[in-house]
Amino acid sequence: MSAPKKLFIKTYGCQMNVYDSERMAEALGEKGYVEAKTADDADMILLNTCHIREKAAEKIYSELGRFKGLKAAKPDLKIGVAGCVAQAEGQEIMRRQPMVDLVVGPQSYHRLPEMETKIRQGEKALDTDFPEEDKFEKLKSRPKAKRGPTAFLTVQEGCDKFCAFCVVPYTRGAEVSRPADRILTEARDLVERGVREITLLGQNVNAYHGAGENGDLTLAQLIWQLDKVDGLERIRFTTSHPNDMMDDLIEAHGTCTKLMPYLHLPVQSGSDKILKRMNRSHTAESYLRVVEKIRAARPDILLSGDFIVGFPEETEADFQATLDLIEEVNYGTAYSFKYSTRPGTPAAERPQVDDAEASERLQRLQALLSRQQREIQESMVGREVGVLLEKPGRLPGQMVGKSDYLHSVHVSDCNREVGDLARVRIMASSTNSLAGELIR
Ligand code: 5AD
Ligand code: SF4
C-alpha cells in the first residue's frame, strides 16, 4: 500500500471558514488524505480564504507566491484556493498564479473529491457554482475520531441583507438554514467525540429558520432542542444581526443555562445617517433598545460588536455618534476596522474618507474599546465563573480554558482533565487573559 497523501489547509478569516476547513479535510479524508503539519510536508495545499477586506484578499496572492519554490521542488504538489476569494475571483486567481490547480467556492466543497481526481490527472479544476444540491447533505457523516472540547457547527449560511460595504451576499450567496434534525445529529456526533461546547455559526445566525418536525424552528427553538443533548454543556452562537434579535432568543439568554452569557451583536456605526447609507435597516436607538432588552433578560451578559470607521461620507460628528454609542453600551470585546473598498458593492462608488483621517478615528475608537475591555476584565476579579478546560498551560500544573464570558483563563494548580467544566475564582486580570484558581 502506498503512503497516505498529506493535506495542509491554511484557514483565513471567520469561524465559518474554520468549520469549512474541517469539513474539507474530512471530504478529502475519504480519498486517503491525512493532515500534514506543515506546508513543506504536504502533497496538497489548500488556502481557505477571506474576501471581507482588501488586505485579506491580497494576502492570498502573496502567500501563493511563496509556494512557488515548493512546487518547483515537488512537481506533484497540488495547490488549491477555497473560500470567498475563490468565489469572487475564480478565473483571475488561475490567471495571476498559473501554478494553482484548483479553485473551489464555499458552496461547492462537497465536490472536492471529484475535483481532486481531475487535478491528479494533470487538469485544472474550477467550481464556483451555487449548486442546487445542499453540500451538507452530500458530505458523508462525520468521522468518529476523538477531538477537542469545543467545536463550531454551521446552522445557517449566506446573507440577504446587502449592507452597502459587504461582499458576503455575493461570496456566500443567499441565506439558507439547515434542517434541525441534521444539526442535532451532527451535535450528538460531536458530543460523542468529546465536544462539550458548540458554537452555532451563521452569517445571520439569529435569522435561522430551519425545517423542524412541525414547521420551521427559530434559533431559540433550535437552542432548546440542543439543550436536551446529554453531555453538551455549553451553547454559543454567532454572528447576530440586531434586527433579528427576536424575543424568544432574548428570553433564552435568561432561562437556558447551557446558553452562555456572551453575545456578538455588530452595530457598525452609531450615526443614523451612516447606518442608513450602510443599508443596515436599524438605527442607533433601535440597537440600544435591543441591548436594553437583552440586559434585562441576562444582566451580566458580555456584549461584543463590530465597527467600521471611515465609511464613505462619515463626518467627525458621525464618528462621535459611534463613540457615544460605545460609551452607552460598554462592550466586553469588539472588532473594529477601517472601511475597505470592495469592488462590486454599492459603497465602493461613493466619495471616500481621507485615509489618514480614518486611521486616526480608528485609533481613537480602539482606545475607547480597549479601555472598556480592560475594565470589564478587571470587574471579573473576585468572581466565580465556569471555565471549560481546553489544554494544559505553559506553567506546571496550569490549565487554560474559556470562561462563560469567553475570556481566556489560566487556572493554576489544576489537576483536571481537558474537557472538564471547572468552577474557578478569578484572581487577576492581564492584557488578554484572566488568571484563576479552582474552587474545590
Ligand atoms: N470594510 C471594513 N470592514 C468590513 N466588514 C465587512 N465589510 C467590510 C469592509 N468593506 C466588517 C464588518 C463585519 C465584519 C465581519 O467585517 O464590521 O461585521
Ligand atoms: Fe455582510 Fe451585512 Fe450580511 Fe453581515 S448582515 S454578512 S455585514 S451584508
Which ligand 1 atom lies nearest to the CA of residue 342? 10
Q: Was 14 annotated as part of a binding site?
A: yes
Whether residue 267 is predicted with pLDDT greater than 80 in this model: the reply is yes
Contact between residue 223 and residue 180 where contact means Cβ atoms under 8 Å apart: no
Instruction: Give the model's confidence band at 131: pLDDT under 50 very low, under 70 low, under 90 confident, else very high.
Output: confident
Half-sphere exposure of 298 (CA within 13 A, CB side): 23
Q: What is the mean pLDDT of residues 109-135?
A: 91
Instruction: Give the model's confidence band at 119: pLDDT under 50 very low, under 70 low, under 90 confident, else very high.
Output: very high
Assess whether the C-beta atom of 167 lies below 6 angstroms from ligand 2. Answer: no
Nearest to 410 by CA among 244, 139, 429, 419: 429
pLDDT in tens, 54-80: 988 888 999 999 898 999 999 999 999
Nearest to 406 by CA among 434, 429, 371: 434
Instruction: Give the model's confidence band at 125: pLDDT under 50 very low, under 70 low, under 90 confident, else very high.
Output: very high
Contact between residue 284 and residue 276 where contact means Cβ atoms under 8 Å apart: no
Whether residue 137 is predicted with pLDDT greater than 80 in this model: the reply is no
pLDDT of residue 133: 74
Contacts for 94 with CB less than 8 Å, ≥ 6 apart? 100, 103, 124, 126
* Cell matching residue 142: 462525520
Contact between residue 21 and residue 48 where contact means Cβ atoms under 8 Å apart: yes
Mean pLDDT of the chain: 95
Give the helix/strand (H/E) hosting 200: strand 197-201
Contact between residue 122 and residue 131 where contact means Cβ atoms under 8 Å apart: no
Q: Provide the 8-state DSSP code for 107.
A: T
pLDDT of residue 141: 67
3-state secondary structure of 334: strand
* Cell matching residue 14: 471567520
Whether residue 1 is predicted with pLDDT greater than 80 in this model: the reply is no
Q: Cα dihedral sign for 137, 130, 308, 12? A: positive
- The rounded Å distance from CA 192 to ligand 1 centre is 36
**Integer Cα distance of 17 and 106 in angstroms:** 9
Which ligand 1 atom lies nearest to the CA of residue 165? 10
Q: What is the mean pLDDT of residues 92-111?
A: 94
Q: What is the mean pLDDT of residues 114-140?
A: 87
Give the helix/strand (H/E) hosting 118: helix 112-120
Give the chain's end-to-end CA distance (angstroms, integer).
Answer: 52
Q: What is the mean pLDDT of residues 32-45?
A: 94
pLDDT of residue 281: 94
pLDDT in tens, 411-428: 999 999 999 999 999 999
Instruction: Give the model's confidence band at 440: pLDDT under 50 very low, under 70 low, under 90 confident, else very high.
Output: confident
Candidate from 205, 264, 306 with most ligand 1 atoms within 8 A of CB, to mutate: 306
Half-sphere exposure of 200 (CA within 13 A, CB side): 35
pLDDT in tens, 305-356: 999 999 999 999 999 999 999 999 999 999 999 999 999 999 999 999 999 9
- Share above pLDDT 70 across residues of the chain, in percent, rounded to a whole number: 99
pLDDT of residue 140: 65
pLDDT of residue 296: 98
Candidate from 53, 264, 366 with most ligand 1 atoms within 8 A of CB, to mutate: 53
- The rounded Å distance from CA 358 to ligand 1 centre is 14
Q: Was 50 annotated as part of a binding site?
A: yes
pLDDT of residue 145: 81
**Integer Cα distance of 87 and 288 in angstroms:** 35
Whether residue 375 is predicted with pLDDT greater than 60 in this model: the reply is yes
**Integer Cα distance of 43 and 307 in angstroms:** 40
Residue whose cell numbers read 433550535: 222
**Integer Cα distance of 240 and 206 in angstroms:** 5
Q: How far is CA 33 from CA 9, 104, 252, 297, in A?
A: 12, 18, 41, 47
Whether residue 290 is predicted with pLDDT greater than 60 in this model: the reply is yes
Contact between residue 395 and residue 412 where contact means Cβ atoms under 8 Å apart: yes
Strands 78-82 and 44-49: parallel
Q: What is the pTM of this model?
A: 0.95
Q: Provide the 8-state DSSP code for 236.
A: E
Q: What is the mean pLDDT of residues 176-193?
A: 96
**Integer Cα distance of 159 and 46 in angstroms:** 25
